Structure 1
Amino acid sequence: MQREAAEIREEWLGRALSTLPADRPAAEAAISGLYRLIGLPPPRFHWVSSPVAALATVPPGVRLASSEAGDRISEWALPPRFSSLMRELCRELDAQVRWVHQPMDQMIRQVVRGSLSQSTTGSLLIPLRAAHDSRHRPGDAWYGTQCVSWVAHYDALRRVAGVVFTPEQTRRFELWAAAARSCGSWWPHDGVCVLSERPVAMHTEVWGDDGEVRLHRADGPAVRYTDGWEAYAWHGTRVPSWVITDPSVPRIAGEANVEVRRCAIEHIGWASYIDRAGLRLVAAAPDPGNPGSELRLFDMRGETRVLLAVNGSVERDGRRRQYGLTVPGSLDDPIAAAGWTYGLSAEQYSLLVRRT
């Protein structure tokens, strides 16, 4: 049964990451049904080519209140009503599962729901957040309502565990499922709903034990839409385009965001970056937590230093990754610096059998 659940997870993951054109009639029919469930007539539909276009677009003939600006989704009137509708349905479906199917539910929550939630966060949520640029409230709660993870969870319960939902529960569930499989994200207003087409390109990598994926592309945008809007990502972290196209030492030195700097250095390669930047070697020592590997401590100028180490575990390609960690500039001993990254003293770190 776990294998069947994993197959359903992959089925829904494929739908979530699809780059095929949206099935507009199916999406509009499903969302119309959801509007009826909250007591509203079907809206007029306005399709756009990307999430950034959706947030910047005011549909023709529509006057939106200031509270319905793209950076204030949490204040919109309809998303909370739809989210409440979803949560109510989940409570009802959970009641159908309780007791009899509880062990199966726990397995499916882990194999299907948890895995898909991580994959969605590491892939689809990145361009949605990027579309909000630097705005403070990008509406993650609303995007979570549209996430395929909860839909796939209950779909797997029906197909794998044989849970039977009532006809009315099935009718409501199928509206959400149809919307999830038919289009990209959508943004509901009273009388009009804005929908985004899917991307035309999406590059991901597998990184988790249960097939979780995240956005990654080392030689171009990880996501691209038909209007040319695109987003870059390095191993699941959204980055500016220069991190991928021109990760130079001067750009890295001028970057304030620590995570962006880390990604750019990883793209260059820590050893190459240290050489290009002319960092001074402070000290080197065998790594007691990773026999056969060496710890090297470099001065980065200023109040920090960088510890160059080798990963204790093997990557998917069979290699051990070399990586750097910033440590306080007051540390002169590589072993003490390695211990500091774990919250240990140099002596405690030296007693480790093997780190990972």
Structure 2
Amino acid sequence: MRYTLIRERVTCDNLPNEIIEQIVGFISPVELCTCGWEVVSSGFAAIIRTVLSRIRRLDSIDGTDREFFQQITIDDPIKDTQRTNKLHLVVNKLSPYLTNLTLNAAVFSKMLEFVPSTSDGSLLFPHLRRFHIFVGNLCGSLTSRISSGQAMRFTSELKSIEVTVNLSSESETLINCCNFKVLMKLLSYFMGTSGRWSLCLKDATRRAQGWYSPVELSELRNTAFISYVRAVIDMGISLQLLELIDDLKMSPYMIVMQKQRRFLYMYNEFKRCEHLVIRYDIGIVAPSFHSAQSAYEELKRVELVASHVLCKNDLVLYLSNAPNLVLLQILQPPHWVERVKRCTYGCFRNEDYGCFMDWGWASVPIRLPRTCLRFDCCSA
């Protein structure tokens, strides 16, 4: 279909404010805060303030200004002052309006320096309700120069705090168990009485997250999932969501019984949450000793995302001491149904692929009579 462009010969000296606001709204928040266009005229400054007052979300990881925030993670003494001043300007203009904030460790550490020094109870982010922080690999370093009094002036009464820890063989210089505990204690000052805690652990280590002997766990505790989960439990924080992700995960269509396959060892502490999401091939499962003291009543939902399970019956037994588990959801790999239909050689009858078939979970109705087993397909 062709469209005809008609140009009207009508002069328009002034665009309506609504049109100008719509045009200005296409500019990214950081650029709008640092452009200095307020000096054009008082009317244009009012339009910019109106546009800024509508911004509710700032994302330094995947947002439109991620390149600006990535520069802050790079140590550069020459440009550091200039970047800090720009960030301070952005925070001053946006902080009264933001309700959703996503930061990496370096940007968060910088923002903590902008906390009001007055004792009148004012907050840097007075209306913030959801906070997501990324720490570890490629996220910069965390600050340790903050007191509890300063922390309480950053924000308060958050409804949701999400912590994503990116672990790699080189991440120990950026995140370890000690400064992770300091971070969690700091974040606890922000949380409201009915807030929701989420922890996401991503693994890009060469060793993977298999079983650790006591000696190995002592040496490698800063790159082990279980160390961070235990740290959260020791602090008395109740997790609503725990995600365990393999960033180096092979395609689920590869045969599972390969050498060098990466497996997750299922510690019992992983059940200390309401919703457990696993994007990691599961290997050995911790033995379960059934008693009244070992019941994991908080666990209500388990989600396995395109992940092989080496010992399915053992995993079902592992979940059997979670009496309130209502849903075991198996997310099949993308295009699973189409691939199975096209295969004429019986490849998917292999035991390795039983974790994506209902016959692979035949023990669920027996061991987990109150749990609904549901199969869905991952989006591509």
Alignment TM-score > 0.5, same fold? no
Question: Which of the two has greater strand per residue?
Answer: 2
Question: Which of the two has greater helix per residue?
Answer: 1
Bigger-Rg structure (1/2): 2
TM-score by length of structure 1 reads 0.29
**Structure showing greater relative contact order (alpha-carbon pairs closer than 8 Å, 6 or more residues apart):** 1
